[in-house]
Amino acid sequence: MRSRTVANRTALALTGLALLASGAAATRWGEERILTAALRHLEPTDHRLLLAASSAALAASLVLLTAQIRRPGRRRLNLPAPGCQLDSRAVRHAVRTGCAAVPGVVRARCSLTGRRGTMRLAITLTVNGTAHPGEVLTAVADGVLPQITPLLTPRRLHTRIRLRVQRPRPHRTQ
Protein backbone atom coordinates (compact mmCIF):
# COMPACT_ATOMS: atom_id res chain seq x y z
CA MET A 1 0.00 0.00 0.00
CA ARG A 2 1.31 3.44 -0.86
CA SER A 3 2.15 5.78 1.98
CA ARG A 4 -0.37 8.35 0.75
CA THR A 5 -3.13 5.74 0.93
CA VAL A 6 -2.10 4.81 4.47
CA ALA A 7 -2.05 8.49 5.43
CA ASN A 8 -5.51 8.99 3.91
CA ARG A 9 -6.98 6.05 5.77
CA THR A 10 -5.36 7.09 9.04
CA ALA A 11 -6.68 10.63 8.70
CA LEU A 12 -10.11 9.31 7.81
CA ALA A 13 -10.12 7.00 10.84
CA LEU A 14 -9.03 9.76 13.22
CA THR A 15 -11.60 12.18 11.83
CA GLY A 16 -14.27 9.49 12.14
CA LEU A 17 -13.32 8.90 15.77
CA ALA A 18 -13.50 12.62 16.48
CA LEU A 19 -16.94 12.85 14.88
CA LEU A 20 -18.09 9.76 16.75
CA ALA A 21 -16.94 11.29 20.06
CA SER A 22 -18.70 14.57 19.31
CA GLY A 23 -21.86 12.67 18.37
CA ALA A 24 -21.66 10.66 21.57
CA ALA A 25 -21.30 13.89 23.54
CA ALA A 26 -24.60 15.13 22.19
CA THR A 27 -26.50 11.84 22.55
CA ARG A 28 -28.41 10.85 25.68
CA TRP A 29 -28.84 7.32 26.96
CA GLY A 30 -31.38 7.21 29.68
CA GLU A 31 -30.87 10.18 31.98
CA GLU A 32 -27.14 10.72 31.35
CA ARG A 33 -25.15 11.75 28.33
CA ILE A 34 -23.08 8.91 26.88
CA LEU A 35 -19.80 10.81 26.84
CA THR A 36 -20.30 12.01 30.41
CA ALA A 37 -20.91 8.44 31.56
CA ALA A 38 -17.85 7.21 29.66
CA LEU A 39 -15.69 9.95 31.15
CA ARG A 40 -16.98 9.14 34.62
CA HIS A 41 -15.94 5.57 33.97
CA LEU A 42 -12.45 6.86 33.10
CA GLU A 43 -12.37 9.16 36.12
CA PRO A 44 -9.23 7.66 37.67
CA THR A 45 -7.35 8.95 34.60
CA ASP A 46 -6.74 12.57 33.81
CA HIS A 47 -9.31 14.11 31.42
CA ARG A 48 -6.77 16.61 30.17
CA LEU A 49 -4.68 13.76 28.77
CA LEU A 50 -7.67 12.44 26.82
CA LEU A 51 -8.47 15.92 25.52
CA ALA A 52 -4.84 16.54 24.52
CA ALA A 53 -4.59 13.18 22.74
CA SER A 54 -7.80 13.72 20.77
CA SER A 55 -6.77 17.28 19.86
CA ALA A 56 -3.36 16.07 18.70
CA ALA A 57 -4.98 13.32 16.60
CA LEU A 58 -7.36 15.80 14.99
CA ALA A 59 -4.53 18.24 14.29
CA ALA A 60 -2.38 15.47 12.78
CA SER A 61 -5.19 14.37 10.49
CA LEU A 62 -5.72 17.95 9.31
CA VAL A 63 -1.99 18.31 8.62
CA LEU A 64 -2.01 15.06 6.62
CA LEU A 65 -4.97 16.18 4.57
CA THR A 66 -3.62 19.65 3.82
CA ALA A 67 -0.18 18.26 2.92
CA GLN A 68 -1.77 16.38 0.03
CA ILE A 69 -3.14 19.44 -1.71
CA ARG A 70 -1.45 19.76 -5.07
CA ARG A 71 0.90 22.67 -5.27
CA PRO A 72 1.19 24.48 -8.56
CA GLY A 73 4.54 24.38 -10.25
CA ARG A 74 6.85 27.31 -9.92
CA ARG A 75 6.19 30.03 -12.40
CA ARG A 76 9.91 30.52 -13.14
CA LEU A 77 12.08 27.43 -13.58
CA ASN A 78 15.83 27.81 -13.20
CA LEU A 79 17.84 26.41 -16.09
CA PRO A 80 21.34 24.86 -15.84
CA ALA A 81 22.97 27.98 -17.29
CA PRO A 82 23.59 30.61 -14.60
CA GLY A 83 21.00 33.37 -14.54
CA CYS A 84 18.66 31.68 -17.06
CA GLN A 85 15.05 30.99 -16.24
CA LEU A 86 12.11 29.54 -18.12
CA ASP A 87 8.48 30.46 -17.65
CA SER A 88 6.42 27.35 -16.87
CA ARG A 89 3.47 28.80 -18.80
CA ALA A 90 5.64 28.66 -21.92
CA VAL A 91 6.32 24.97 -21.27
CA ARG A 92 2.60 24.25 -20.89
CA HIS A 93 1.84 26.23 -24.05
CA ALA A 94 4.51 24.31 -25.99
CA VAL A 95 3.09 20.97 -24.82
CA ARG A 96 -0.46 21.98 -25.75
CA THR A 97 0.64 23.25 -29.17
CA GLY A 98 2.70 20.13 -29.88
CA CYS A 99 -0.11 17.79 -28.82
CA ALA A 100 -2.73 19.72 -30.81
CA ALA A 101 -0.59 19.25 -33.96
CA VAL A 102 -0.83 15.46 -33.68
CA PRO A 103 -3.41 14.11 -36.16
CA GLY A 104 -6.61 13.02 -34.42
CA VAL A 105 -6.27 15.28 -31.37
CA VAL A 106 -9.29 17.55 -30.95
CA ARG A 107 -8.29 19.21 -27.68
CA ALA A 108 -5.17 19.19 -25.50
CA ARG A 109 -4.89 20.32 -21.87
CA CYS A 110 -1.92 20.05 -19.55
CA SER A 111 -0.71 21.04 -16.11
CA LEU A 112 2.81 21.22 -14.72
CA THR A 113 3.23 20.73 -10.98
CA GLY A 114 6.00 19.84 -8.60
CA ARG A 115 8.91 21.30 -6.74
CA ARG A 116 12.68 21.09 -6.73
CA GLY A 117 13.92 17.86 -8.30
CA THR A 118 10.72 16.35 -9.71
CA MET A 119 8.13 17.86 -12.02
CA ARG A 120 4.82 16.23 -12.94
CA LEU A 121 3.30 16.85 -16.34
CA ALA A 122 -0.34 15.79 -16.67
CA ILE A 123 -1.69 15.82 -20.21
CA THR A 124 -5.33 15.24 -21.13
CA LEU A 125 -5.97 14.64 -24.81
CA THR A 126 -9.40 14.50 -26.40
CA VAL A 127 -9.19 12.34 -29.50
CA ASN A 128 -11.82 12.14 -32.23
CA GLY A 129 -13.64 8.85 -32.66
CA THR A 130 -11.89 7.90 -35.91
CA ALA A 131 -8.31 8.21 -34.62
CA HIS A 132 -6.53 5.23 -33.13
CA PRO A 133 -5.60 6.08 -29.49
CA GLY A 134 -2.42 3.98 -29.60
CA GLU A 135 -1.07 5.92 -32.57
CA VAL A 136 -1.89 9.24 -30.91
CA LEU A 137 -0.17 8.16 -27.70
CA THR A 138 2.91 7.01 -29.62
CA ALA A 139 3.05 10.26 -31.60
CA VAL A 140 2.89 12.34 -28.39
CA ALA A 141 5.39 10.19 -26.50
CA ASP A 142 7.88 10.08 -29.38
CA GLY A 143 7.34 13.51 -30.94
CA VAL A 144 6.30 16.04 -28.31
CA LEU A 145 7.76 14.86 -25.01
CA PRO A 146 11.39 14.44 -26.18
CA GLN A 147 11.38 18.14 -27.08
CA ILE A 148 10.11 19.17 -23.64
CA THR A 149 12.27 16.91 -21.46
CA PRO A 150 15.60 18.73 -22.17
CA LEU A 151 14.03 22.02 -21.05
CA LEU A 152 13.66 20.62 -17.53
CA THR A 153 17.03 18.81 -17.43
CA PRO A 154 18.06 19.37 -13.84
CA ARG A 155 14.72 17.89 -12.79
CA ARG A 156 13.10 14.54 -13.40
CA LEU A 157 9.89 14.69 -15.38
CA HIS A 158 7.04 12.29 -14.59
CA THR A 159 4.39 12.35 -17.29
CA ARG A 160 0.80 11.10 -17.13
CA ILE A 161 -1.24 11.10 -20.33
CA ARG A 162 -4.99 10.65 -20.20
CA LEU A 163 -6.84 9.95 -23.43
CA ARG A 164 -10.51 10.68 -23.93
CA VAL A 165 -12.34 9.63 -27.04
CA GLN A 166 -14.84 12.09 -28.44
CA ARG A 167 -17.93 10.23 -29.52
CA PRO A 168 -19.74 11.46 -32.62
CA ARG A 169 -22.95 13.29 -31.82
CA PRO A 170 -26.15 11.92 -33.31
CA HIS A 171 -27.46 13.94 -36.23
CA ARG A 172 -30.82 15.59 -35.76
CA THR A 173 -33.36 15.68 -38.49
CA GLN A 174 -35.81 18.50 -38.67
What are 104-161's pLDDT values in tens digits? 899 999 988 876 678 888 999 999 888 888 899 999 989 888 988 887 777 788 899 9
Q: How far is Cα 7 from Cα 10, in angstroms, rounded to an integer?
A: 5
Same domain, 46 and 88: no
b/e sequence 48-83, b meaning 16+ C-beta within 10 Å: eeeeeeeeebbeebeebeeeeeeeebbeebeeeeee
pTM: 0.54
Query: pLDDT tens, 11-35?
Result: 777 777 777 776 666 665 666 666 6
Count CA within 13 A, CB hemisphere, residue 165. 9
Same domain, 60 and 117: no
Same domain, 29 and 103: no
What residue numbers bound the domain in which 51 lies?
Answer: 3-67
Q: Which of 47, 67, 87 corresponds to the end of one domain?
A: 67
CATH at residue 111:
3.30.70.1350
Q: What are phi and psi of 130, to 5 degrees?
A: -90, -15
Q: How many domains does the chain have?
A: 2
Same domain, 81 and 162: yes
Report the DSSP pairing between strands 105-115 and 32-33.
unpaired
Residue 174: inside a domain: no
CA 62 to chain centre: 16
Same domain, 8 and 86: no
